[in-house]
Homo-oligomer: A and B are copies of this chain.
Amino acid sequence: MNVEVLAVGTELLLGQIVNGNAADIGARLADAGLAHYRQTVVGDNVERITKAITEAVARADALIITGGIGPTQDDLTRDALVAAAGVPMMFSEEYAEHLRAWWERRGRSMPETNLRQAEYPHGAEMIPNEKGTAPGLRMRIGSCWIFAIPGVPQEMLPMIDGHIIPFLVAETGDGTSAIVSRLLRTWGDSESRIAEVLGDLYDTGSNPTLAYLASGGEIKLRLTARAASRAEADLLIDPVETEIRSRLGSLVFAVGDTTVERVVLGLCGDAGWRVATAESATGGLVAAALTSVPGSSAVFAGGIVAYSAKAKVTLLGVPQAIIDEHGMVSEETGIAMARGATERLGADVAVGVTGSAGPDVLEHPAGTMVIAVVTPGGQRARVLRLPGDRERVRAYATTSALHHLRLALTGAWWKA
């Protein structure tokens, strides 16, 4: 069962909205073990919609079309289905009554254009819409099942989950097949180096397959297994995850959507420690990341953004002599900032970040960043040279600060 997704809407092509529907449907198809090789977007043009439908029908076993079934003149999916299938347009008196009653219940008279929603290509069945007035449609062209559903996510998703996925899974006749993906998140080495270390685990025919996703300074490893059930797929993934963890060690920091800030707060919570931040060049981003986690107030003691030398002295108690001797961007100043944050904010653990985010070159090249961590178990600082513009340097430094906190809290940084 090979399923394609076609989104209809000029606003998608103009970039006025992002095609989140395709991602939502793709995730659900993957979870259901349905193959999904292509997504297409076309505008509100009946010829181009028709052509896209005709092409998909030749390739796929099923096509899910989102958008273009509302009441206005630029809702053209029904017309394109009629053209692609070579069937007449029908009119449902029953659905017209349903529409009139819907408007009446809301105390309003129905604009006549809404009757377009009672039209359907000959042979199509209507899929009920629990959240709006445009019904979905299900029909067959050649050997391909076609589903046309609204583009509004709140109306679309119930039809996907309640009707289309169960229908397609039943159609496969292969009720036992499942696809399971597991995401291992790593930080601290390049995609190419990790690919080298794991190269022998990867093969287009292997089960599970292994894919790399680089984003935000992290390398994510996606293991995807196919099996008769979700439980069996999990059993195929488990030993590969174990092997990857043994090869990559502390590079692997989480599974799935667990973030490094959650890991850091969890480690602090387990140790009964409170954490604070002392930021210069990241300007509050590390504190913002930690406080993005609900319930962080139980562990997060507070943060100070001290940009100037004077603020580092008055707010964080960094000795002026340290700044004079080593400079603002130095391991010594970083550690004094972190140490000051523990004292001023009553914390056990703190991270200090100082550096030059650019584009102005001060005493150090833009991208020079110092990360310093102080815990009851030790203290250490590191100078990084980060690439990119100001925004990227700040983002990388923030991620880096959180990971050095993590490595300090697990003790890995003291051993490294």
Contacts and interface: CB of A to CB of B under 8 A. Distances in A.
Contacts of A385: 106
B196 A292 contact: no
A388 interface: yes
Interface in A26-84: 26-28, 30, 36-45, 48, 52, 55, 70-74
Contacts of A15: 22-28, 30
Given A16-B222, A27-B15, A292-B283, A40 B39 contact: yes
A288 B284 contact: yes
Contact of A315 (B288, B295, B302): B302
A291 B302 contact: no
B30 A14 contact: yes
B30 A52 contact: no
Interface string A366-408: 0000000000000000000101111110100000000000000
A358 interface: yes
A330 interface: no
A187 to B, nearest CB: 16
Interface residues of A, number: 108
A37 to B, nearest CB: 6
Contact of A181 (B14, B110, B277, B288): B14
A177 to B, nearest CB: 16
A211 B26 contact: no
Contact of A287 (B12, B28, B283): B283
Interface stretch (A86-94, A138-146, A303-311): A303-311
Contacts of A283: 284, 287-288, 290-292, 296, 300, 303
Given A359-B294, A391-B292, A12 B39 contact: yes
Nearest to A42: B38
A22 B41 contact: yes
A191 interface: yes
Interface stretch (A164-172, A212-220, A234-242, A331-339): A212-220
Given A12-B39, A30-B14, A195-B113, A304 B302 contact: yes
Contacts of A292: 283, 390-391, 394
Contacts of A40: 38-41
B388 A131 contact: yes
A304 B304 contact: yes
B388 A154 contact: yes
A114 B74 contact: no
A192 interface: yes
A76 B282 CA distance: 36
A30 B210 CA distance: 37
A360 interface: yes
Contact of A345 (B36, B41, B110, B311): B311
A10 interface: yes
B37 A43 contact: yes
A149 interface: no
A156 interface: no
A102 to B, nearest CB: 9
A18 interface: yes
Contacts of A192: 71-72, 110-111, 113-114
Contact of A11 (B190, B211, B304): B211
Nearest to A312: B302
Interface in A337-362: 344-346, 358-360
A297 interface: yes
A20 interface: yes
Contacts of A27: 14-16
Given A41-B38, A294-B359, A388-B131, A19 B16 contact: no
Given A73-B195, A284-B288, 7 more contacts: A11-B211, A13-B36, A14-B222, A18-B18, A37-B48, A38-B41, A283-B287
- Top 4 closest A-B pairs, CB basis? A283-B291, A15-B27, A284-B284, A284-B287
